[in-house]
Amino acid sequence: MYPEASELSERDVINQVDALINRHRALPAGQMQGDEDIPVLTEVVDLQTGNIAESAESAPDIQAEMRAALARELEAWLDEKLPEAVLRVLDGLSDQMISQVAAQARLELLPRLKSTLESGSKSE
């Protein structure tokens, strides 16, 4: 919607600065500048045309564009980072599960196996 700073020529920037300065230049005595000519923080300037639009008219469009841009960035980040994060967590869980099963086998299964082997060798 707005040109990037790199897309603006030096002349465009100078023209915009001149227009802004001329807009706020002191007027001769007796002339008053209307309030409508004073920009406020809620105005949006279209850099391509130099027109000022009230933010109430363009804010929904800008907000929708910002939401869409944020959604795209979030989706791209999740596509890139989430699989790796899930794999790390799953690797950690599988390592923990293997350690727990091995410890449980040493505590319960190994004595049972030894007892089975000892009773089998006694019966021979």
Comparing 119 with 21, the larger pLDDT belongs to 119
Residue 122, in any domain of the structure: no
Domain coverage including residue 37: 5-117
Residue 94, in any domain of the structure: yes
Residue 102, in any domain of the structure: yes
Q: Do residues 48 and 2 make contact, with C-beta atoms less than 8 angstroms apart?
A: yes
pLDDT band at residue 14 under the 50/70/90 scheme: confident
Residue 21, in any domain of the structure: yes
**Angle (CA) 57 62 65, round 5°:** 140
Residue 95, in any domain of the structure: yes
* pLDDT tens, residue by residue, 39-59: 555 555 555 565 555 545 556
Residue 60, in any domain of the structure: yes
* pLDDT tens, residue by residue, 59-101: 678 888 899 999 999 999 999 999 999 999 999 999 999 999 9
CA dist list (Å): 95 to 23, 87, 92, 100, 102: 69, 12, 5, 9, 11
Residue 14, in any domain of the structure: yes
Residue 124, in any domain of the structure: no
How many domains would you assign to the chain?
Answer: 1
pTM of the model: 0.35
pLDDT at site 25: 64
